[in-house]
Chain A
Amino acid sequence: MSTLAQEFSKGLLKENPTFRLLLGMCPTLAITTSAFFGFGMGVSVFFVLLCSNIVISVIRNFVPDKVRMPAYILVIATFVTITDMVLNAFVPELHKALGIFIPLIVVNCIIMGRAEAFARKNNVIRSILDALGMGVGVTMSLTLVGIIRELFGAGSIFGYNIMGTAFEPMGVLATPPGAFITLGILLGLFNYAFKRLGIE
C-alpha cells in the first residue's frame, strides 16, 4: 500500500494523466491555444475530478456493481453542469472560449478513469489525495501546452507580450496541427527525461 504522500504525488509526474497516462487528449489538443484557456480547462477538470472522486468514494459501498457506471455518470455530469453554470455566470469569457468542451468533461477519460480505477476501491482521504495530485497534474500539463503554443504562436504568455514586436508568430501552433506537434514534442521530451531518470 502506498503512502498518503505518494497517493498525491503520483499524479504530478510519475502518473501524470496527460503525459504519462495519455488520458483526456481531446481537450489537451483542442483548447490549449493559450495559457489561460489551458489553465481554465485544467481547473475545471480539477474541480470536477475532486468532487466526483469524493462522492464516488463515499457511495462506493452502496452502489450495486452492475449500475455503477450510470451512477458515476450521473455524479460526474452533475458536477460538470455545475461547473458549466458557474463559469457561465462568473467567468463568461472563459465559458465562451471553452464552449462545448465544458459539457464534454463528462466523458473526459481522466475523471471516469480515476473513478473506476481509484475512487471506487479506496477511502475518501486517499481519493481526495488522488484527485488533488491528478488535478494539479492535468492543470500543469494543459497550462504548459498552452504556454508553449501561446508563446510561439502569438508571442505572449497569459496575454502578456514576451517576445517583443520583432517576433514573427508561428501561426501554425495556434491551429489544431500545432497542438499535435506541441504535444508530440513534449511527450518525446518527457519520455526521454523519464528514461534518463530511470522512472518507468
Chain B
Amino acid sequence: MRESGLRMALTLLIIGAICGGLLSMVNGFTAPVIEERAMTEFLQALEGFFPEVEDYEAQEIGDEVFYYCTDNSGNFIGVVGQVKADGYGGKISYDLAVNNSGDIIGMRISSHGETPGIGDVITREEFQSRVIGLNYADPISPGVDVDTVSGATISTGGMLSSIRRVMDIIGENFMTN
C-alpha cells in the first residue's frame, strides 16, 4: 500500500473529527448533571460554613461568583467565594468562606489536579488550618504570617496568593467598616 503524507494526515483528521464530535455529544448529556451535582455540593458546603444561613445572593465579580449570605433577620453573616487558584497541575477550584468580620472560617477544594500525596495537601487539615482564622486585613503573605508546605510550594503558594487576591475582593466589596 502506498502511503502518502496527505493520506496519513487525512486519516488522522477524520478520526479526530469523529472523536471530537462524539465527545461533545456525550458532554452535552453529562455536563448539566455534573453541574447540578456540583451546585448541590456547594450549597451543602455553604450551609456547613454558615449553619444559620437563611438566604444568599450570588454576585459575579470578574469571572468568579461570591455568595452574600444573610440570616433569618436579614443580617449579613458572611460571604462565600467560588474562586480559582493557579496550582501545579492547572487550576484549583475552591470555596472560601469569610464571616462578617473578615475572618476566614472555612474552605473547600472542589476540584484540583495537584499531585496525589504531595500537592493535594491543600485539601487536608495540614494546609487548611494554616489559613483558617486569617483576616482580610492580615498580610496573608508566605513567610510573614503563614507558611507554604515544604515539598508542595507551588500548590500551597498558589493557594495563598489566590487567597490574598480573593480577600482583597471581599474586603473591597463586602466589608463596610
Chain A residues proximal to chain B, CB less than 8 Å: 59, 62-67, 70-71, 74-75, 77-78, 81-82, 85-86, 88-90, 92, 99-100
User: Are A71 and B22 touching (Cβ within 8 A)?
Assistant: no
Scan B1-42; emit 1 where CB is below 8 A from any A CB, else 0: 101000110011001100100110011011101100100000
Is B143's beta carbon under 8 Å from chain A?
A: no
Instruction: Chain A residues near B113: list those with CB within 8 A.
Output: 100
Q: How far is the CA of A63 from the CA of B12 in the complex (A)?
A: 8
Instruction: Chain B residues near A64: list those with CB within 8 A.
Output: 1, 3, 7-8, 11
Q: Is the interface of B mostly helix, strand, loop or mixed?
A: helix
Chain B residues proximal to chain A, CB less than 8 Å: 1, 3, 7-8, 11-12, 15-16, 19, 22-23, 26-27, 29-31, 33-34, 37, 113, 116
User: Are B34 and A74 touching (Cβ within 8 A)?
Assistant: no
Q: Is the interface of A mostly helix, strand, loop or mixed?
A: helix
Interface centre among B12, B31, B113 (most CB of A within 10 A): B12
Q: How far is the CA of A77 from the CA of B16 in the complex (A)?
A: 11
Output the least CB separation between B5 and chain A (Å): 9
User: Are A88 and B15 touching (Cβ within 8 A)?
Assistant: no
Output the least CB separation between A83 and chain B (Å): 10
Instruction: Chain B residues near A65: list those with CB within 8 A.
Output: 1, 3
User: Are A99 and B116 touching (Cβ within 8 A)?
Assistant: yes
Picked from A59, A66, A85, A90, the residue with its CB within 8 Å of the CB of B3 is A66
Instruction: Chain A residues near B34: list those with CB within 8 A.
Output: 85, 88-89
Output the least CB separation between A5 and chain B (Å): 32
Output the least CB separation between A37 and chain B (Å): 14
Q: A78-B19, A85-B27, A86-B30 are in contact. Are A71 and B12 (CB under 8 A)?
A: yes
Instruction: Chain B residues near A88: list those with CB within 8 A.
Output: 30, 34
User: Are A90 and B33 touching (Cβ within 8 A)?
Assistant: yes
